[in-house]
Every structure is written in C-alpha cells, then in structure tokens.
Amino acid sequence: TKPEQLAELARLLAELTSDPWSRWLEARVALLRGDRVAAAQGLRELTIAPARIDYALVLADEGNSRKEGAQLGDLGDNALAIVVEALLAVEQGQASSASLRLNDLKGELPPRVAAYRALIDVHLHLGTNNPQRAAEVLAKLGRVRTPPNECAFWERVAWLHLQLGRNVDRSNDHKIA
C-alpha cells in the first residue's frame, strides 16, 4: 500500500469517528502502517467481532494473550473467533483446549477461517512430532485460492516454516507456504 492511499483512508475514516466499523478500519490502517500501539488503542474498546478478533491477535503478538480482551469465547458461534481462540491456545501449548473449542465448528468453513484452521493443524502435527504432515498442510496453504491478507496470518506461516527448519524466501513472500 502506498502512504498516500493510507493517508487518504485515514482522513476519510476520521470523518466517521463514532461508527465502530470505521473505527475498526482505522485500527486496521494503523496495523498496515506498522503502528501496533495505535491499532491496539483503536481496537481495545470496540465490541464488534472483527475488532475483538484483531485485538486478541495484537495482544497475542505482543505477548499479552492472557490480558483482558484477548478472550473470544463470548463471541458465541463466530467461526473465525472460535478458530483464532483455538490458534492462540495451541500457540500457548494448550492443544487439548484448542481441540475442544474446534468441536464447536459446524459445516464447511469460509476460506479465511479454513486457512487459520490449517495453521492449528500445522501446530498440532509439529506437537506430535510429525513434521512431514505439518509441511503438507503448509503446502496446501500456499495453494489456497483466497488466503487471508492480514500480517498476523502470514507472520504465523513464516514462523511455522522456521520451526520446520526452512528459510523464508523474502523475494516471494506471498508464496512462502
């Protein structure tokens, strides 16, 4: 994204300060700029599900996954919330609670949710000392038709590649899986 485009989006969003959806988008712009502090501040008070999910991911990435606001269980049957909560649990070494939470998922998962679910599978395969199966799941992620576009997702993909002992090719970031 170009800085001019981000500035224009920030200007437009500033006109809609009372709307929670515009405040969420403003926080997403802060994430794109790399301003995690502003993003966390913008997401902290929002109650809409996408903002709560983003806030939980920001807290986890900052090492504050136990902080108030990082829990997503009260979002009910929101599939992305279920998967992200399970992902954060498995990243903290709580595979059994992650597996229990995933039992709440019903039916076919939307692409973004399925991609995050695949990250959990990679973690579980690594946890059971099955790097071959973990690598296969990561390879499938690279062929997903519409992968998530947020940094939190791709940072986790890169980290899993490093756990498999692979180097990340920075010249081809969008195809590292």
Cβ atoms within 10 Å of 26's Cβ, excluding its own: 21
Q: How far apart are CA 94 and CA 107, in angstroms?
A: 24
Q: How far apart are CA 159 and CA 167, in angstroms?
A: 10
pLDDT higher than 60, residue 112 = yes
Q: How far apart are CA 26 and CA 10, in angstroms?
A: 6
116-161: pLDDT as tens digits: 999 999 999 998 899 999 999 998 887 877 888 888 888 899 889 9
Residues whose CB falls within 8 Å of the CB of residue 88, separated by 6 or more in sequence, listed in order:
56, 57, 60, 65, 70
Give pTM, 2 decimals.
0.77
| pLDDT of amino acid 119 | 92
14-46: pLDDT as tens digits: 776 678 998 898 899 888 888 989 999 999 989
Q: Which residue has the tokens 């609670």?
A: 97
47-105: pLDDT as tens digits: 999 999 999 999 888 888 666 656 787 888 889 988 998 898 888 888 887 777 787 78
